[in-house]
């Protein structure tokens, strides 16, 4: 087995890469990185000094591939399967890549700001930064809601009728965003989209594998 994915089962960007692997039943070895363990952390930083996962190591081709979007692009090029997560048509591919970046930058990024701030001691929390992140996240969710409301059933997935890399990005982004701003309150179409994503076998498998670790996700408390 030539592919090894360095990852953690709670990390949103690792979920994104795992979904792509599971969509096409691509054989790989998952290597769990425990950043709290000194030896595991040191070994990972020797491999990839930036220290962020996921990272895909392809022993057969001698390639180390960091960043979730680049991993999916790499898999599509060198390990294609039955599900084309990046369309062959250039215009359609551009749309998928745009939506992939949208979910990473405008949903995942502010969501992570809010959730990781909950790990800080109360006196050290970044109230202004969290408020700004919530505003950015709500703006992004409003845009997503507006699109699904406008397009109705003609666009079941992020970029149209076909599941794509954009949906790989949207799955963990919206799953965790729902812990910050509950979608059912003001974004019912987006909530329905999240449900479709969670029912997709690839993401359902990711969530099942993450279940033993979910208790580690910091939840909002009354004094937050």
Residue 156 exposure: Cα atoms within 13 Å on the Cβ side: 8
Contact yes or no for 43/31 (Cβ under 8 A): no
| pLDDT at residue 222, as a whole number | 43
Question: What pLDDT score does 223 carry?
Answer: 44
Task: Record the tokens describing residue 208, joined without a space.
Answer: 């099942």
Rounded to an integer, the average pLDDT of 17-22 is 98
pLDDT for residue 221: 54
What is the rounded average pLDDT for all residues in the chain? Answer: 95
The domains found in the chain, sorted by start residue, are: 3-78 (3.40.30.10), 90-207 (1.20.1050.10)
Calculate the dihedral angle through the C-alpha atoms of 148, 149, 152, 156, rounding to the nearest 10 degrees.
20
In this prediction the pTM is: 0.94
* Residues 139-144: contacts with CB under 8 Å, at least 24 apart: 139/106, 140/102, 140/106, 140/107, 140/110, 141/107, 141/177, 141/181, 141/183, 141/186, 141/187, 141/190, 142/187, 144/107, 144/187, 144/190, 144/193
Q: Tens digit of pLDDT for each residue in 28-72?
A: 999 999 988 999 999 999 999 999 999 999 999 999 999 999 999
pLDDT at residue 224 tops 70: no
Residue 40: exposure state from Cβ atoms within 10 A (0-12, 13-18, ≥19): middle
> 1 pLDDT exceeds 70?
no
Pairing relationship of beta strands 55-58 and 63-66 according to DSSP bridges: antiparallel
User: Which two structure tokens, joined as six digits, stand for 14?
Assistant: 């690792």
Give the separation between CA 31 and CA 50, rounded to whole angstroms. 17
Question: What pLDDT digit, counting tens, does each position of 104-140 carry?
Answer: 999 999 999 999 999 888 899 999 999 999 999 999 9
**Helix (H), strand (E) at residue 141:** helix 127-151
């Amino acid at each position: 087995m030539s592919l090894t994915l360095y990852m953690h089962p709670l990390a949103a960007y690792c979920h994104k890469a795992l979904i792509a692997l599971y969509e096409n039943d691509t054989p790989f070895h998952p290597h769990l990185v425990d950043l709290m363990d000194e030896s595991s952390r040191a070994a990972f930083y020797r491999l990839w000094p930036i220290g962020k996962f996921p990272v895909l190591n392809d022993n057969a081709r001698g390639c180390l591939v960091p960043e979730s979007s680049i991993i999916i692009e790499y898999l599509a090029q060198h390990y294609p399967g039955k599900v084309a997560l990046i369309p062959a048509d250039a215009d359609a591919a551009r749309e998928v890549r745009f939506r992939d970046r949208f979910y990473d930058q405008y949903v995942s990024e502010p969501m992570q700001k809010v959730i990781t701030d909950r790990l800080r001691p109360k006196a050290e929390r970044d109230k202004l930064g969290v408020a700004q992140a919530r505003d950015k996240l709500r703006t992004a969710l409003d845009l997503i809601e507006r699109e699904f409301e406008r397009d109705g059933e003609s666009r079941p997935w992020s970029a149209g009728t076909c599941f794509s890399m954009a949906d790989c990005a949207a799955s963990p982004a919206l799953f965790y965003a729902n812990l910050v701003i509950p979608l059912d309150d003001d974004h019912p179409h987006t909530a329905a989209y999240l449900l479709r994503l969670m029912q997709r076998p690839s993401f359902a498998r990711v969530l099942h594998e993450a279940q033993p670790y979910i208790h580690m996700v910091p939840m909002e408390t009354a004094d937050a």
